[in-house]
Structure 1
């Protein structure tokens, strides 16, 4: 008999996460403690439960601008290397406890330098924290591998620096490059020298596109930055007609199986779609797009990988085959060596789903 497809069973399932922001996933208690250590006095609450509620309500406003304001607080308490390492350590433990076996977690290291931390030291703190958390999780019987994605902020001019850090640290846990920040007005080929550096080194890259902006942003990410994956990418649905007919860009994304890092709860919170039921995640999945299901910001959205998959499955009537498919798609899209991908698929993911499906 298959296990019931509910939160308890999905928590036990081996999961793969491709789109999760380090500064969007802090534990509320950690935010309070780090604020106290740093002398940061601007938090809107001094109780962990109340603070967690504030983050979710601010993010639920339906405004991307208000949603992004919540990060002012988390980034403010992450300005010391030891704070960054703690947040990364706890992130690895929290994801492992949720049944995630492979994750790529992203952070813009330039945001961690406001009080003088050198950008390289910020990256090393992230990597140290993930390594420590991964070792602890393995010792506890919940092994996880966490790769780091380094974001350059579209509106700033540190792309070359971040691309260099990606190349320099790729054998130490950095999985690839990302572009984050405002899509509109800041095209992904604004600093062609950074893209050329990644090209020369054969470095992986994903690009936030098709979240706040539509089809043109997706084309720019694919052609201008040569993105291998689309961060969100959900606005590809703008080119999917009611009868399933696809526009030229949607057809290209489908034919090439460009992975979509879809984060449904986040999209509803930022006002891209009015509700989960009206979100195109299921439609795109049914049409054969390379849909993966992600958290984006676990603190602001009040979600886990388990809750996101549970909500999507419950809303759209998904079965175990659907959950396994999006997991295997995510693993196929991961910036991993082929031998490690094959090992996780054969030894962890497939046996885990076989046991749950009965």
Structure 2
């Protein structure tokens, strides 16, 4: 990798690792919550069809719609059918959206679609792919970002422009896109089967706008994100935020169906000010098959991205260690599940650091070892 990558990854490690250690030291209960969450997610995997059915009933009870997609192609067909003539789209950071190639597909359809997470927006401008699950643009230095914004957004931005000014210019551009958007498309950090609620964590505020300002909200995520109750869903987002180094998260967004009001005789009426339509697309794309395989444990991953910073292969190869957006140790597992790609597993050095830091106590080296066997059987 380049000198720029070495600088970027070392800064990221120095910024992230001490923060996570401090969070866990000051909030010891989080480790107990993580242990409980592992057991909870295993119960869901043991009876996944029942939990999918329960989620569907819960969402529909609130006036939302649930769609089951067996693969990426089917997911995109569903999205296009929901959108119909809607052409202006805002999206929030989601690895599943990359998994189904959502932005690429909709751009090819001529739609005006924009990433609203700052890192993802920069990746979009760079015609690039994310280098990390949580921090997609860590491979871009401030100088590179300034050049991108100069060429694509505002020619007055230069090497002397502060990070604060850059963010301000992007914020102004994206606000215009929010106000014009016909639909907002998000992923999900967790889904509560008992209420049909979709939970999303963030710090920028863009997801909150994506989910309430456009009149159609589409949430797309894997079936592995389903947990039994709303309490379990909060547990998942708290653990993910903590191990990513963002505790407390600035925002936890909870969406339960389309907008509604109860201000007339306490009768629930929908829609209200927010979206008229809510659609949840649950994606399989290899996940059910993985439940019954020797890499089932990979499905417990909550995508906190912490394993990246303890991985010598990721430090050396960057986003080439995996198939973006699924890079790093996490990405080796998810590439095997969703696209049956096993070759990048051969770059793993088996340091074991990933297992030591995983909140879900996944034996990641063992999972990657089994993926290596698959690659060798194919070769």
TM-score (norm 1): 0.29
The higher radius of gyration belongs to: 2
